[in-house]
């Protein structure tokens, strides 16, 4: 038996690492307690204010993060262990040395980041499942035109404006411009349903265009995120990435038509718990891995998997089984996105922050106008409410937050630009509910159409 002073160094190191591992787990669990409380309290408050719960989760993250309470902070945002209140609590409980606290903080942050990345993969899988491509046939080319205008105009205006007026480098400007392209189908559909216009011509065009926006937006995200890895804009590389992302998505959907029957057959033969949801997640994670392996984003693969499984006969059952899993992981993503935002960089009292405020104001204006013009892309529809279509395309919601989160994680977006995108997402999402109610209230033709549809049904 070794005396106390003669333990081999590797054994001592292993013992210290095991002890640190236990403390890291404690830190992760404590962080998750804070994240889930922030998510639930923020979501509930948002719901009571008749706003999307995702906004409450985001604001909850801002409150517990680097902007206010410093409970959940991350080293990639420039924070250190001494900035984290949770690390101070662990240090007081366990009497940790500053070196140990720094190591625990790094490991704990990495663990939460991985859980958040898993959350965004599950989120995009869920969005894919909810994006019913069959519905697009009802509105056809009208929705496609609206969607293309809603992607091209804000992307071009945002990117060029940031580079020309504010001198933002090409890659961050492209990423911020890309964040302006998305439309939240969930938020828009909810509002349209509540006010009774989901089945109107305008409602069908908005929802159809939002679905196409999601598809185009995810392709754009895959391209700009891949550009961020190289750090430079190479036209040939951009063309290659666009072709690769589009081919991957379309190829997955086409192959999915052959895969669907096999998937259902496998699920029906399995006899144990999770016979449907586990094969679905195996497929989603494999598709995410495949996309990552060919230098695209993992979320593109997860989104493609959702689109494929949306065509199966088990779609509704699968939707219901995915929801509780998403409820566990997705809030981690939204809260961490908010937690990484440091809103102090937009404090107007500090002269150096005023350019960041100007950028935020510019993005908000482009985000609103870039979607409002989409209503005037509808032709051959007499009496159509173009204003309602434009307003319905404005909210960025969860998809815009995906852009902000990935841009922050990749290091492409600096703090002012990231904060500006978050503010743009919040304000555009706030505008949609009252804006749609106002637009349809002033359109008696649309109301008459709804009443005639209801009387026939």
**What pLDDT does residue 245 have?**
80
pTM of the model: 0.77
- What would the mean pLDDT of 43-71 be, rounded to a whole number? 87
Cα Rg of the chain (Å, integer):
24
pLDDT per residue as tens digits for the range 103-137: 899 999 999 999 998 998 998 888 788 766 666 56
Q: Which residues of 32-51 are buried (b: 16+ CB within 10 A; e: fewer)?
A: bebbeebbebbbeebeeeeb
Q: How confident is the model at residue 343 (pLDDT cuts 50, 70, 90)?
A: confident
Q: Give the residue among 219, 235, 225, 212 at the shortest CA–CA distance from 175.
A: 225
Furthest C-alpha separation in the chain: 92
Residue 77: pLDDT band (50, 70, 90) is: confident
Q: Which tens digit of pLDDT belongs to each residue from 203-224?
A: 878 877 887 787 787 788 778 8
Q: Residue 180 and residue 217: Cα distance in Å, rounded?
A: 9
CA–CA distance, 333 with 127 (Å, rounded to integer): 15
As a whole number, mean pLDDT of residues 5-18 equals 46
The CATH number of 125-456 is: 1.20.1530.20
What's the pLDDT at 1?
46
Closest CA to 34 of 382, 338, 428, 397: 338
Cα–Cα dist 386/50, whole Å: 25
Report d(CA 253, CA 239) in Å as an integer.
21
User: 412 near 175, Cβ under 8 Å?
Assistant: yes
Residue 440: what pLDDT?
A: 84
Per-residue pLDDT averaged across 175-202, rounded?
A: 78
3-state secondary structure 77-145: HCCCHHHCHHHHHHHHHHCCCHHHHHHHHHHHHHHHHHHHHHHHHHHHHHHHHHCCHHHHHHCHHHHHH
Assess contact for 391 and 428: CB atoms under 8 A: no
Contact between 399 and 214 under an 8 Å Cβ cutoff? The reply is yes
The answer to whether residue 445 scores a pLDDT higher than 80 is no
Write down the pLDDT at residue 138. 60
Q: Give 162-188 as a 3 state SS string.
A: HHHHHCCCHHHHHHHHHHCCCCCHHHH
The answer on pLDDT for 340 being more than 60 is yes
Q: What pLDDT does 137 receive?
A: 60
Domain spans, the chain: 16-110, 125-456
Check residue 29 and give its pLDDT: 94
């Amino acid at each position: 038996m070794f005396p106390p002073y003669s333990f081999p160094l590797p054994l001592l190191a292993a013992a210290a690492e095991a002890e640190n591992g236990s403390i890291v787990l404690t830190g992760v669990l404590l962080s998750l307690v804070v994240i889930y409380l922030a998510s639930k309290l923020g979501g509930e408050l948002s719901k009571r204010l008749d706003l999307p719960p995702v906004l409450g989760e985001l604001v909850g993250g801002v409150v517990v993060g680097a902007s206010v309470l410093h409970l959940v902070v991350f080293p990639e945002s420039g924070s250190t262990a001494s900035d984290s209140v949770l690390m101070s609590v662990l240090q007081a409980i366990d009497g940790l040395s500053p070196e140990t606290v720094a190591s625990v903080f790094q490991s704990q942050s990495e663990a939460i980041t991985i859980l958040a990345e898993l959350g965004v993969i599950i989120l995009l899988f869920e969005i894919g499942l909810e994006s019913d491509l069959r519905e697009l046939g009802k509105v056809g080319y009208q929705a496609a035109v609206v969607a293309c205008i809603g992607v091209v105009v804000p992307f071009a205006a945002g990117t060029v404006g940031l580079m020309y007026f504010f001198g933002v480098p090409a890659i961050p400007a492209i990423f911020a411009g890309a964040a302006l392209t998305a439309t939240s189908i969930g938020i828009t559909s909810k509002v349209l349903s509540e006010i009774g216009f989901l089945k109107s011509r305008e409602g069908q065009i908005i929802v159809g265009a939002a679905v196409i926006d999601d598809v185009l937006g995810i392709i754009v995200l895959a391209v700009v995120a891949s550009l961020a890895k190289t750090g430079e804009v190479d036209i040939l590389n951009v063309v290659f990435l666009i072709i690769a992302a589009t081919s991957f998505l379309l190829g997955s959907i086409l192959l999915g038509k052959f895969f669907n029957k096999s998937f259902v057959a496998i699920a029906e033969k399995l006899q144990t718990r999770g016979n449907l949801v586990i094969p679905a997640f195996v497929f989603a994670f494999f598709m995410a891995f495949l996309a990552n392996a060919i230098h695209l984003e993992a979320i593109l693969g997860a989104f493609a998997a959702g689109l494929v499984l949306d065509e199966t006969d088990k779609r509704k059952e699968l939707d219901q089984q995915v929801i509780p899993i998403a409820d566990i992981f997705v809030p981690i993503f939204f809260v961490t996105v908010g937690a990484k935002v440091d809103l102090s960089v937009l404090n107007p009292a500090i002269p150096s922050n005023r350019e960041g405020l100007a950028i935020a104001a510019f993005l908000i204006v482009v985000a609103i106008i870039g979607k409002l013009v989409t209503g005037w892309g509808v032709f051959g529809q007499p009496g159509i409410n173009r204003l309602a279509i434009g307003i319905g395309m404005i909210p960025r919601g969860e998809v815009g937050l995906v852009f902000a989160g990935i841009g922050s994680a990749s290091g492409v977006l600096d703090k002012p630009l990231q904060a500006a995108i978050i503010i743009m997402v919040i304000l555009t999402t706030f505008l949609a509910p009252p804006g749609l109610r106002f637009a349809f209230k002033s359109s008696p033709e649309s109301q008459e159409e709804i009443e005639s549809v209801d009387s026939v049904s």
